Amino acid sequence: MMRSATQFRAAGYSINIVGLIGFLLVFSWALVAILAPWIIPYPIGEIVDFDYFGPISDKFWLGTDYLGRDILSRILMGARYTVGISLIAVMISCTLGVALGMTAAVVGGWFDTILSRFLDALNSIPSKLFGLVVVAGIGSSIPVLIMTLAIIYTPGAYRFARALSVNINTMDFVTVARARGEGTFFLIRSEILPNILGPVLADLGLRFVFIVLLLSGLSFLGLGVQPPNADWGALVRENIGGLPFGAPAVIFPSIAIASLTIGVNLLIDNLPQKIRDRST
């Protein structure tokens, strides 16, 4: 029995220890984002310490910020903004990008050429700059941020999905389906999508990391999530004054970002073989 169990795992769905660590990091941040309001030790807006940039202590596990608010509570609540905004944005950009990419590969011709050229052009605007320009034009709010992040990363998702779909599109079973007279939508949904799903999911993870980094960068510049709300990038910005004394208030939000992005990277790099190589 033991032997057959290990054999089953070896058949492709096993995950190694590094991947497991990545998964646990990502999973625990997701949990924190959901449960934040019930697990924070202090209300996030309340000044609880007479000292500002307080050190790590029994009362304040990660110290206090520039106003004397509890940093642990603010980081836990910040997870909602960082994880939530990035997750919605990556869902939109990947759905849009993958749908367009598959359509372009199946339809081909002028539709493909024009769409590819246009999205490639969008891709050659540096992402941080795109964010700056949009925020300058219409100001920053959470829906605007989500849409901006989604638009910035759609061309990349499109390119990736299109490249995969073009390969699948030349396979015999697609030709057969075409000969049967199936429509474009059927081809995309039943022939292409199931065969590119694994790599697309891995790509979604990497794109999530890019979005977290860009969101944090924008918030750090004061152009992302606006006060009184704060995501992790905004927390670093608020407390940057504590940097010369090495205050924990500026170090721990950065560590939170790093643990999330590195966690996702570890998870993606060590995904079970079966998921990663679905298309081959």
- Name the residues that contact another protein, by CB under 8 A: 117-118, 120-122, 124-130, 132-139, 209, 213, 216-217, 220-223, 233, 236, 240, 243-246, 250-251, 254, 257-258, 261-262, 265
In the chain, what is the greatest distance between 2 CA atoms, to the nearest angstrom?
Answer: 76
End-to-end CA distance of the chain: give it in Å, rounded. 31
* CB closer to another protein, 124 vs 280: 124
* CB closer to another protein, 137 vs 227: 137
Q: Minimum distance between the CB of residue 113 and another protein, rounded to whole angstroms?
A: 12
List the structure tokens of 90. Answer: 């990556």
* CB closer to another protein, 20 vs 136: 136
Q: Minimum distance between the CB of residue 22 and another protein, rounded to whole angstroms?
A: 11
Q: Minimum distance between the CB of residue 26 and another protein, rounded to whole angstroms?
A: 13
* CB closer to another protein, 112 vs 191: 112
* CB closer to another protein, 152 vs 188: 152
* CB closer to another protein, 228 vs 244: 244
Q: Minimum distance between the CB of residue 35 and another protein, rounded to whole angstroms?
A: 25
* CB closer to another protein, 31 vs 125: 125
Q: Minimum distance between the CB of residue 226 and another protein, rounded to whole angstroms?
A: 12
> Which three-class secondary structure string do you get for the chain?
CHHHHHHHHHHHHCCCHHHHHHHHHHHHHHHHHHHHHHHCCCCCCCECCCCCCCCCCCCCCCCECCCCEEHHHHHHHHHHHHHHHHHHHHHHHHHHHHHHHHHHHHHCHHHHHHHHHHHHHHHCCCHHHHHHHHHHHHCCCHHHHHHHHHHHHHHHHHHHHHHHHHHHHCCHHHHHHHHHCCCHHHHHHHHHHHHHHHHHHHHHHHHHHHHHHHHHHHHHCCCCCCCCCCCHHHHHHHCHHHHHHCCHHHHHHHHHHHHHHHHHHHHHHCCCHHHHCCCC
Q: Minimum distance between the CB of residue 78 and another protein, rounded to whole angstroms?
A: 14
Q: Minimum distance between the CB of residue 87 and another protein, rounded to whole angstroms?
A: 17
Angle, vertex CA 204, rays to CA 200 and CA 208, nearest 5: 170
